[in-house]
Chain A
Amino acid sequence: MDSFEADKRQQLDRAIMNIREKFLLNIDDRIALFDDLLAQIETGEDMEDALKQISANAHKISGVARTLGFADLGLMTSKIETDFGKALAGTLSENTVSPLISQVEEMLDHLVSLSSGNRA
């Protein structure tokens, strides 16, 4: 890699670090959004819409997580998106929705640990 390329790479790495910081700063908003959607599922109020929104938000995170250095989060959100997509294509029942909620809770725990780590 010549020095020009190396400079560009360093510049990109710095930009990614800044974007990563921004992602971490806003992580509590994402957690709150997922919490609200889980609450919507619990009340049974427009469950399908809540599932779709969870899937769409997981999709957003999975698209950037790995690049920002959060490979595990990328895998979790990608799996949520895939599994939610399959569930939404079929008939929704407690049996199909419960494991999905567990997946989201696990992902939320992960987000919380990232948020705490950022504050520490």
Chain B
Amino acid sequence: MKILAVDDDEIALELLTESLKSIGYSDITVATSGLSALEEIDAATRPFDYFLLDIQMPEMDGIELCQRIRRMASYKTSPIIMITAMSDRSFVDAAFSAGATDYVTKPFDTLELSARVRMAENLVRETRVSTNNVFAVQSLKAKVEDALRFSIGDAITIEDVPGMIGKLAMENYLLQLSRGKVYQSIAIGFAIVEIETIFSRSSPTEMLYTLTDVADAIADSLKQSNYLLTYCGSGKFVCVADRGSRAISPDLEIAIQLSIEEMEIAYDSGAPCEITIAMGEPVTSSLWSSGNATQLMESALISAEDKRRALQLEAAGVSVSKTKKGFMKAG
């Protein structure tokens, strides 16, 4: 595994390097600023497998560096672990939003570092397998489609949508939130109605574009809020935002639907692709909730699924009782 570690403090870099060596990693390149990190990336004859970036650095901080690495085609899905002191917690949201996969706190605990790095290593291996598959068959378009093929339940990565992060990153984000911060957060699930039909009629590329359009519509309707969004597979998305966000209202579903309709999404054949979005009840957590923060996400998904089923039954002419409006409690 080839690692690039970036920190403006040389002592911290040495500690990080030695800690990584002690858990079996020796191919480590270090940089003491964002700019020199970018130079190392440019000069690398073999790409880095993943990155460890300090958040607080002068001139270019770790968040900007993370964004710039993510913009590079070779590193769109590479694990980026942010290094943060406990007092940097306010920056952690911004880091996940910039594309970070995970974070580790300073001072380093070698056990924690080891767990985080091993998780990143697994991610690298999975990505490498799928990338190799793509390269092996890229000579023919049909074969590329084959390589891109994914199952309806796969939580595929959707790129270039503001606030969109991977499902693993969203889970990591939720798990690092303090109980107070979880209490201040709200999760909402969204589900595409009749996703099975749309999925079966679409090529993998078409499906990816459709999901990206829906993610864009959700992001656009939330643009005045602080939020993170992720795709969880099966046409379902989850957004986590500040509890007080004005965009989180019953009108949000209508706003997203209007935005989708304006896009006039169509299949490659030209036939319109009718997308209806089902928004679940907003889910909040009690301060005394015993479950972990990812339950917020699970509850939001369940609520969106319930709403989707109700809409599908309604469309099929089956009468269903309306669900009670208001915030659900997770867990």
Contact = CB atoms under 8 A, between A and B. Distances in A.
Specify whether A and B are partners: yes
Interface of A: 8-9, 11-12, 15-16, 19, 22-23, 56, 59-60, 62-68, 74, 78, 81-82, 85
Contacts, number: 61
Contacts of A11: 21-22
Given A11-B22, A56-B58, A68-B11, 9 more contacts: A19-B11, A22-B14, A60-B12, A62-B87, A63-B85, A64-B12, A65-B107, A67-B108, A81-B85
B145 interface: no
Contact of B18 (A16, A62, A74): A16
B266 interface: no
B106 interface: yes
Contacts of A60: 8-9, 11-12
Given A15-B18, A66-B107, A67-B108, A56 B56 contact: yes
Chain B contact residues (Cβ within 8 angstroms of A): what range?
Answer: 20 to 34
B19 interface: yes
B168 interface: no
Main SS class of interface, B: helix
Nearest to B57: A56
B108 A12 contact: no
Interface in B107-145: 107-108, 110
A64 B83 CA distance: 12
Given A63-B106, A66-B107, A78-B87, A19 B22 contact: no
A81 to B, nearest CB: 5
Contacts of A67: 15, 107-108
Contact of B110 (A12, A19, A64, A74): A12
